[in-house]
Chains A and B, each alone.
Chain A
Amino acid sequence: MKKSSVKEASRGEYDFFSRRNFLKFSGGCAALSSTSILSTILDLRLTKAAMAYGGDLSGYKAMVCVFLSGGIDSFNMLAPFEDVEYNAYSQIRSNIAIPKTSLLEVQDRNGRRFGMHPQMSDLRTLYNQKKLAFVANVGSLIQPTTKQNLNTTPQPLGLYSHSDLIRHWQTSVPQSRSQVTGWAGRMADMITDTVNGNPNIAMNISLGGLNVFETGQRVVPYVIGTGGATTLAGYSKTTTAPRDRIFTKYTDNVLSHTYGDLLEKSYAGVRRGAIDAAASFNTATSTVNLTTVFPNTSLGNQLRMVARTIACRDASKLNQSRQIFFVVAGGWDHHADLINLQNNMLPAVSQALKAFYDATVELGVENSVTTFTASDFARTLSSNGAGSDHAWGGNHIVMGGAVQGGHVYGSYPTSLALNNSLDTGRGRLIPTTSVDQYNAELALWFGLANDSSLVGVLPNIRNFYSASATSYPVGFLQDPLIPV
């Protein structure tokens, strides 16, 4: 009886807030991180304060995370172009600098010139069409950090290691190695009941396998491949293969029994849901006809599947009004042969992203889909001979109709010279925009409110962005409070 009343009281917008989940979650969080984070996440459940940004979950929106795993050397993706700045770049990079004459020149809103990597001509087109922007020197931070306070402020665990910094980008809790949920997962936990009408297919969809970024307490990413969802092999009511016929008949029968043991019942329920979800997902996406041609590359095929999935967002198909996608392009750990490898690999990124943008135009959702890159870290500005080593802050791409493109956001260093004001050694730059700020911009655009819910998703955000802020944290997305 006691429990019933608790349940009644919590039944509402979010079943998430039920006492059980509440306790489970709070226990889990105490486990996961510091008490201050715990208290903020608890706040999230109890407070629904008035807010500057309204938590608008209307309409359709999708975000697409393109994870460039291995740690992309992003100061060659976006290099300086002004003479003094380029010379410092050229000097510190020595044999891994790109010749100025090869760089693709672009200008920011203030006329400052930059050089995009020569193999990114498609993306330069989008930049000039103001559908794409860069955010400069982004990296994982716990709180604003300078060279002066570097050793006296808390810093991300395991700086410069792949596993730690991949985790930090995806969790946004860089003080912890124990975080089992990612920021997109926590965000989905909060909103899925409102925006996902599909009981079997999560609003977080991954082309890159299970990942912490999209994993929440309740929401686990729906993992698909470039050909669609993983179906139950051999399961077919019309199969003519004897063993599959036996298997199909038995599976249908045994998953429909009434089980007294709730574990058996739960097992049967998940299995039934998995079978039906994969079938319905593939049925829906297989009917999509896109005229946009994608490059036949790993990233091209992943993004083509994302586009096909977005095309099925409607209530009659997947029934999802918010979707978060995770795609992976790996192999950026260029300790050697950096120049050649980037020349070989960046065309695939440039072409696939451009095709994906074109596909969103074709689907009429270009203003509702924002694509962004993430990566372990950037790399040392100084050369190790023919490549570069693990570093910290780096440059990232944001793309879509909602992006206020043709600009370099954040703070691109005015000098990349050795021992510059951000250099912790060998050209490892202290980030000037935190991953939290970058993520917060995306989360607010996606429909989160700048209140305790944002803090629940990004526990460190108040170190960078005020609850009473009157503009977006970085500014690359169209800000509802600021007229365009």
Chain B
Amino acid sequence: MKALTHWLVMCFVVGFGLVGSVRAGDYTVPNANELNALIMRLRATQFLQHATFGARDAEVNALASRMAQIGAYPALNEWIDNQFALPVTLHAQTIREMYQAENVSPIDSAVNPIRFRYHSWWHNAITAPDQLRQRMGWALIQLFVVGEIDNFNSIANDRTGQPSWMGITNYYDMLLTDSFGNYRTMLTDVTRHPVMGVYLSHLRNNKPNLATNVFPDENYAREIMQLFSIGLYELNPDGSFKKNAANQLIPTYDNDKIQTFARLFTGMTYAQSTSLNNGAVNFHEPMMMFEANHDKDAKNVFGATLPAGLAGLVDLNLGLDNLFNHPNVGPFVCRRLIQRLVRSNPSSTYLGRVVATFNNNGLGVRGDMKAVIKAILLDPEAFDGIAMIKKSPTTLEVRPGLSERTRLQEPIILYAQFLRRYASSGHSTGRFLLPSLDGIWGQAPYRSPSVFNFYLPDFQPAGDITNVIPSPSIPNGELVAPEFQLLNSVTGNAVPNRYRADIYNQTTNHFMYTGATGSVNFTINFAFPVETGLAGNSTALVEYLDKALCCGTMSNAARTALITALNQEPTSTTALDKAKGALLSVLTSPAYNIVE
């Protein structure tokens, strides 16, 4: 039954797609050169949807021109190299600039300073030149998850003289800084960051005391293995589960291993403490090690034993080395990164190639993130979610991929893309001082509800996705769609309502804090000059929106429906109203929200 369903889906796509079903959209252009230019433009748009917080027309055009000039692959490779070379836009620096510009103190609760945490995130997503790094940081915080808890919201300076509430920003900046480095560096930095120490409670974790039956906290030991590095079950390099003789999954670790690693993560506390339990909060420096509180016994790690008596940080580094070299790390981590950047269900061949790069960048280095990022973004399968078929020298059929090749884009990324294209700041500094906005789509910077992030990597929405059997190229025989965990009967309306209010009103006020004379708001403005200019020609308007926002994946039927709706308007309907109605329609359509 299930196999039949899948086969039918295949038939539907292949059989009817070619004769102009709702699946495919056709573009006819005057000559072959323009056809090639169109292909480059759509591919550039697709690539920038993977690598940035959304593409502006000028960025797309520049990249497309370069692709035409030196070839697609060299141009994309060059674009990535240019991004690698850009300095990091750090959020702490952005925050400092913001509160200095407002001339307020970051430890004055009257100005609600924690808001700067979200302001800087949105501002950098919208404006930072190092878009690839910002996008990677957002992917990495969803791997090495921390979320806001009360401890992180203290409006007072910590030991370093910096606001405690900026500690979690410091953690985010650490991931940004590390994102083009080595995964092994991240393991150390994450493990020793006091924000993680508090979040997963290994800060002030003491060695066992057998006399009182007190044992180290196992929280971090469990989560670093389960969520940050190797996962629950042994994997092949292509992401498929290993099976034992009885055809069962093989757990990567047991409780003994958790207890062993729990002993590894002992002795750490806030930097500049006088003892394990005596020291002021310090969220800005790596945790320090107290030798007397670090478990000095031998540790039976994966396939090796760490000898007894090692200095704490030596022991820690050897233990993290051991975890880093576990063969599961490549398939576990790379699958999550592909899910965040490209698609929900990487094939075994795609994942296998990225994992091979993770295991060895070609120079014998394991965990090289630059190489991994290129492997993810430049793989042929990163593009095959959209088939582009030249039906004639001047006609292009654009056919979006099967279920296996797509992803529901994260709502926060879609909104950032919307802002990058259409928004301007109404603030005197030109900065984007937006709030967290998590009430709308259930996703916001620093607001992961738990260490399990906003959605589980294997989440399946109810319905067809749970029942279909994917092609054999998909490891483990089922499709997942994590981001659907955020889409429900509430957000299904609330998210379009946010877009509608922004687009129709062209200005939105966001509350920042209550000042001496009442609410102080941030005003954001929206304009749609290109769309309005095209609105006299419904077909031109719809084709523009399709290319710019949907990579050309709107079906002929979808385009026709929107063109028809526009053409049915009376002559009294203004160009601006047509532009607004059309833009809202596309932003809330399946073709836009499901990305290839």
Contacts and interface: CB of A to CB of B under 8 A. Distances in A.
Interface in A266-301: 266-271, 273-275, 277-278
A256 to B, nearest CB: 10
Interface stretch (A28-36, A350-358, A396-404, A426-434): A28-36
A200 B489 contact: yes
A355 to B, nearest CB: 27
A79 B591 CA distance: 61
B87 to A, nearest CB: 35
A161 B578 CA distance: 52
Select the residue from A233, A255, A263 with max chain B CB neighbours within 10 A.
A263
B462 A218 contact: yes
Interface in B114-155: 149-151
B384 to A, nearest CB: 14
A385 interface: no
A466 interface: no
Contacts of A251: 585, 588
A180 B585 contact: no
Interface string A222-265: 11000000111110000000111111011101110111111111
Interface in B76-90: none
A268 B589 CA distance: 8
Nearest to B586: A250
A254 B585 CA distance: 9
A1 B17 CA distance: 27
Contact of B461 (A30, A212, A255, A270): A270
Contacts of B452: 28, 31-32, 178, 180
Contact of B468 (A162, A262, A264): A262
A210 interface: yes
B398 interface: no
Nearest to A20: B466
A161 B484 CA distance: 31
Nearest to A32: B452
A271 B588 contact: yes
A263 B408 contact: yes
B569 A266 contact: no
A100 interface: no
B13 A260 contact: yes
A85 to B, nearest CB: 34
Interface in B431-460: 439, 442, 449-452, 456, 458-460
Interface residues of B, number: 94
B232 A27 contact: yes
A266 B557 CA distance: 18
Given A260-B9, A262-B403, A212 B449 contact: yes
Contacts of B255: 35
Nearest to B406: A263
A15 to B, nearest CB: 9
B500 A233 contact: yes
A21 to B, nearest CB: 8
A242 B573 contact: yes
B489 A202 contact: yes
Interface string A2-15: 01100100000000
A370 B565 CA distance: 50
A233 B498 CA distance: 9
B110 interface: no
B561 interface: yes
A273 B3 contact: no
A43 interface: no
A250 B504 contact: no
B577 interface: yes
A77 B86 CA distance: 60
Which 9 A-B pairs have CB atoms at the shortest separation, nearest pair first?
Answer: A274-B492, A246-B581, A243-B581, A250-B585, A253-B561, A262-B403, A264-B590, A249-B565, A242-B573
12 contacts: A201-B489, A245-B565, A246-B565, A250-B589, A253-B561, A258-B12, A259-B590, A263-B407, A264-B406, A264-B590, A270-B487, A270-B489
